Amino acid sequence: MIFVDACFGKKTPYTPVWMMRQAGRYLPEYMKVRDEAGDFLSLCKDPQKACEVTIQPVDILGVDAAILFSDILVVPLEMGMKLEFLKDEGPVFSKPILNYKDLDMLSVEESAKKLEYVYEAIRLIRAKLSKDKALIGFCGAPWTLATYMIEGKGTKTYAKVKKVLYSEPDFLHALLRKVTDALKLYMQNQIESGVNAIQIFDSWASALEESAFFEFSWSYMKELCDYLKARYPHIPIIMFPKGVSGFLDKIDGNFDVFGVDWSTPIELAKEKLGDKYVLQGNMEPTRLYSKEAIDIGVDKIVKVMKNRRHIFNLGHGILPDISVENAKYFVRLVQERTSI
Ligand code: CP3
């Protein structure tokens, strides 16, 4: 698999490419299956349909890897929280985790078992997906999940979770410990079910100052890597902490690929981390609105990364109103421009 080879820094005939959120609303084929399922969560819980939408972007766009169709929030859901996806608000947990009593209600072993629909989807996808295409499994970073669990929904200020961080750090650590333990089992089960690589999404890393990032987020992400690498050294791990361009000097750990978000100049990531890790990224996702903007965006990254250890991707997820034609154009352009 060219994708897995690239994750381990081996030479490949071209730079493999995929897009975060590649299975999603910009594809009419996705909307059809989601509407059949009823809603987003029902789609996540239906292995047949999750399999179908996972493979759609591989067939339609020709990307080099599929990413499991699911969501990072199914873990807190199956740990025992009530989750809804509301039309204008996005994900909402109606009863956030506020104290040790709430924390005690959350299950670890039980949640890993309840996520069986994810493992079944993985088995179906791996049986159906072409042998040369990788399947990427994923989870949210403990910090990003804990943020949702305490805030109850997306936030601009992170006021609730940061109040906890600075006034009750032991409580936050207890929550992070529990989530990390659940993620170890969940990732282990995803790997045993057949994923070829995993990505850990730390979307809210950008909310933290340096010392807090390393104490409350990165340490738990690293612990998860150590746990998985001790058992599955052949499965590449991609870390995607968003918004940490100021701390690249201090990034280290037992993983293979560093996902560069679009706000970090790729030259900077190359200088600081390019010798230690394969880099993934990082075209600004809204460049997909225009072919000219795609040409310029791809050209720049190719110039910096050509023949270097690199996986092409956007610097965050594709937006729902991007045209399929432009998404296809991007994928083909990367594959052509990087061919040896
Ligand atoms: O294609 C893929 O990348 C795989 C599937 C995937 C989804 N979510 C599907 C999804 C992945 C990897 C995620 C990760 C995820 N989910 C993250 C981390 C990545 C990031 O974007 O920073 C986060 C923070 C979430 C939480 C989440 N899920 C939010 C905030 C939302 C609402 C925002 C939105 O785009 O509507 C979701 C819903 C969601 N997850 C959708 C999809 C395709 C849209 C649901 C729909 O069909 O309406």
Write out pLDDT tens, residues 52-70. Answer: 999 999 999 999 999 999 9
Q: At 263, which CATH number?
A: 3.20.20.210
pLDDT at 87: 87
Region 47-54: what's the mean pLDDT? Answer: 98
Write out pLDDT tens, residues 3-47. Answer: 999 999 999 999 999 999 999 999 999 999 999 999 999 999 999
Q: What percent of the chain has pLDDT over 70?
A: 100
pLDDT at 88: 87
Number of domains observed in the structure of the chain: 1
Region 260-266: what's the mean pLDDT? Answer: 98
Higher model confidence: residue 230 or residue 340?
230
Tell me the pairing of strands 278-283 and 197-202: unpaired
Q: What residues pair up with 199 in beta bridges, in sequence order?
A: 138, 238
Give the residue from 171, 146, 170, 142 showing the smallest Cα distance to 158: 146
- Distance from the alpha carbon of residue 69 to the mean position of ligand 1, in angstroms: 9
- In the numeric block, which tokens belong to residue 176? 């992070």
Angle at 18 between CA 87 and CA 220, to 5 degrees: 75
Helix ranges, the chain (H): 2-7, 28-37, 40-44, 47-61, 74-79, 100-104, 109-114, 116-128, 142-151, 159-167, 169-193, 210-212, 219-231, 266-273, 291-305, 324-337
Whether 256 is a known active-site residue: answer: no
Find out whether 79 and 115 touch, Cβ atoms under 8 Å.
no
28-37 helix and 47-61 helix, angle to the nearest 10 degrees: 170
**Closest C-alpha residue for ligand 1 atom 20:** 203
Write out pLDDT tens, residues 265-286. Answer: 999 999 999 999 999 999 999 9
Write out pLDDT tens, residues 94-135. Answer: 999 999 999 999 999 999 999 999 999 999 999 999 999 999
Q: Is the pTM of this model over 0.95?
A: yes
The residues, ordered by sequence, that sit 6+ positions from 255 with a Cβ below 8 Å of its Cβ are 225, 229, 237, 238, 239, 277
Ligand 1 binding residues, C-beta < 6 A: 20-25, 34, 40, 67, 69, 71-73, 85, 90-91, 138, 154, 201, 203, 317
Region 153-157: what's the mean pLDDT? Answer: 94
Q: Which domain holds residue 103?
A: 2-337
pLDDT at 284: 98
pLDDT at 55: 98
Find out whether 313 and 259 touch, Cβ atoms under 8 Å.
yes
